[in-house]
Structure 1
Amino acid sequence: METRVVHFYSEDSKLEGDYFLPAGRRGGERRPAIVLCHGYSGIRNLVLPDYAKLFAAAGYVVLSFDYRGFGGSEGPKWRIMALEQIDDIRNAITWLEAQPEVDAQKIGVWGTSNGGAHAPYVAGVDARVKAAVGQVGYGDGRRLLMDIRSEDERRALERLLAEDRRRRVLTGQGGAATCDVLLASPQTRAFFAEALKAAPELHCEIPWASAEKTMEYRPIDVVDRIAPRALLLIGAERDDLCRFDGYRELYERAGEPKKLIGLPITHYEIYTPPWVAKSAQMAVEWFDRYLK
């Protein structure tokens, strides 16, 4: 397997990615390719390399990259605007189409957590995506942020977002919060408490404006456009952040071919043994069926 650091442009920002080429390629051979989409405040050098290597070992060309504002990519720091990230993914597909190692008619997307919402969204709006796999994602951004909060906390969040919008309009400055505060589920708080010790680069302060845009983001509104292209959803049945019910609703709204798998784990367990290998194999089997 060969790996390169690559760059491409998304609107006005230069994005950085890792390009994985499978071993055993013959001269001039073009292979199916997969774009990897990371989570809400993720960066490409955490979690994604495990999946990229497993997909490349299965014979796929793989591109993982940092969304604008994260990791090695340019752009306003730590701003998470769902539709901007969708554009980043679509521009990653365009870059892949231009590569001599890639069969441009066989490009898929795979995403996890927030990327697990982006993968079906991109497939719904971009027919170049021939197969999509989402894991531990969601279909409705408002439910994502509200279901993890009590009724009082929901009202407080709505007041905070309204006040922050007013402040941005009047002063040009808005507030921000760390990911464990914004995505305030017990599993998320526990994960970041440990993860930041090993990977301090995970720290980020996400503008409240991003939360406002997340509340408006609804992959469920476009998932019915994917068929007859293929969609696999892999959810965690004990997920307290991206509730499994959200993926069930996405699945019910989608057309065939489709598949929903529920794993008996929590949101972040999917990134630990043996679930990384198991979930990757589920994705490989799906891509082998619908992308190769």
Structure 2
Amino acid sequence: MPKVTELTFFSEGLKLKGLLYEPDDLKPGEKRPTVVCCHGYTGMKDVYLLPVPERLAVHGYVAFAFDHRGFGKSEGVRARLIPPEQVEDIRNAITFVSTLPSVDTDRIALYGTSFGGGNVVVATATDDRVRCVVSVVPVGNGERWLKSLRKHWEWLKFQDVLAEDRRQRVLTGESRRVDVTELMPGDPHSRQVIQEKVKAAETYTQGYPLENAEATLRWKPEDFAHAIAPRPILFMHTECDGLVPIDECYALHSKAKEPKKLVTIPNADHYDVYQFVNPDVFEKVIAESIKWYDRYLKADAPQERIAEIA
């Protein structure tokens, strides 16, 4: 089994917590390719993300999964999600792992799922230390995504709610908190998973700030996708995703340049990519991810191969 160590680093003065997974055959002084893993909108790293770094370590990688500011064990305003701040957390996580003795600083990659799948696109586009990236069921345009989850009249009403919250924030300094499903209402399957799995482990009893949604409206990872090349990016999405429509992934893929690859998983919904919901789909996701990392991070994959078409 991999060695797991809880570690602490700082991002813009806030103390963030993460778990480092190291292969059990790691020798003293040896450096391995490393993957930084990033969670999604609800911030439930411990609920659904950890099987990913664990499996990567089994396949010889060092992997690091951390809680963004405001989530999990990290400091910050509880459940507050401002996307550019999360990208800064990712950049600081890369800097942090680069200081660790088991990490090969020339072979660092990212893995992001759901909202984190969009965040890793931006982080990779703006940080040339990232050698390759995997983006799973990602959000490509925050406004388009939130609008897709609502009927037209619901969208108009939601905009009014956000406008009122903006006024109250400047008057009181506080954003009204709501249930996460008010921010991202999904299909029945997604709601069931959130109710049965996510909320059972949720520590954000006061809800999620409405300002998260306003910040999400301005977040457009697809505008950054073209800047990743010539570094390779793998996109994966579930065809029956009722929370993040597959068109989000198509948009990102269409704007990314080669080398790139798009994998669609049939008959699967959004949360099926997580082991605790659908182990079979998770195995497909992890197998594709490991093939991608093996191709572009292993010692026998020279840097010039990054210019190849996947």
TM class, shorter-length: over 0.9
Answer yes or no: is the 8 Å Cα contact 1:196–1:203 preserved in 2: no
Answer yes or no: is the 8 Å Cα contact 2:122–2:225 preserved in 1: yes
Q: Where does 1:69-108 land on structure 2 (aligned, <5 Å)?
A: 69-108=70-109
Shift of 1:144: 1.2
Structure 2: any 5+ residue segments left out of the alignment? 299-310
Q: Is 1:244 equivalent to 2:250 in the alignment?
A: no
Answer yes or no: is the 8 Å Cα contact 1:70–1:78 preserved in 2: yes
Q: What is the distance in 2 between the residues matched to 1:242 and 1:197? A: 19
What residue identity is the alignment partner of 2:10? Y
Q: Deviations over 1:160-206 (max 9, x none)?
A: 11111011112222212121221101233222121146424375611
Q: Where does 1:175-190 land on structure 2 (aligned, <5 Å)?
A: 175-186=176-187, 187-190=189-192
- Tell me what 1:220 maps to: 222
Q: What is the distance in 1 between the residues matched to 2:208 and 2:162? A: 13
What residue identity is the alignment partner of 2:134? V
Structure 1 outlier segments of 4+, above 4 Å? none
Q: Where does 1:257-268 land on structure 2 (aligned, <5 Å)?
A: 257-264=259-266, 265-268=268-271
- Tell me what 2:59 maps to: 58
- Tell me what 1:254 maps to: 256
Q: What is the distance in 2 between the residues matched to 1:203 and 1:231? A: 36
Match of 1:78, SS state, is: coil
Match of 1:47, SS state, is: helix
Q: Deviations over 1:227-286 (max 9, x none)?
A: 000100000111122111111111111111100011111001111211112201110100
Shift of 1:118: 1.1
Answer yes or no: is the 8 Å Cα contact 1:43–1:202 preserved in 2: no
Identity of aligned residues (%): 38
Identify if the C-alpha distance between structure 1 residues 7 and 234 changes in structure 2 by more than 3 Å, giving closer, same or farther: same
Identify if the C-alpha distance between structure 1 residues 38 and 103 changes in structure 2 by more than 3 Å, giving closer, same or farther: same
- Tell me what 1:23 maps to: 24
Q: Deviations over 1:65-122 (max 9, x none)?
A: 1001111101111100001010001100000111111110100000111111111111
Identify if the C-alpha distance between structure 1 residues 163 and 202 changes in structure 2 by more than 3 Å, giving closer, same or farther: closer
What residue identity is the alignment partner of 1:270? V
Question: Bigger shift: 267-276 or 106-115?
Answer: 267-276
- Tell me what 2:127 maps to: 126
Question: Bigger shift: 15-24 or 202-211?
Answer: 202-211
Question: Bigger shift: 187-196 or 228-237?
Answer: 187-196
Match of 1:98, SS state, is: coil
- Tell me what 1:173 maps to: 174
Q: What is the distance in 1 between the residues matched to 2:273 and 2:291? A: 17
Provide the aligned C-alpha RMSD in A.
1.3
TM-score, with structure 2 as normaliser: 0.91
Q: Is 1:144 equivalent to 2:150 in the alignment?
A: no
- Tell me what 1:113 maps to: 114
Answer yes or no: is the 8 Å Cα contact 1:44–1:64 preserved in 2: yes
Q: What is the distance in 1 between the residues matched to 2:7 and 2:245? A: 35
Match of 1:33, SS state, is: strand
Answer yes or no: is the 8 Å Cα contact 2:139–2:244 preserved in 1: yes
Give the number of equivalent residue pairs.
292
Q: What is the distance in 1 between the residues matched to 2:82 and 2:44? A: 15
Structure 1: any 5+ residue segments left out of the alignment? none
What residue identity is the alignment partner of 2:226? D
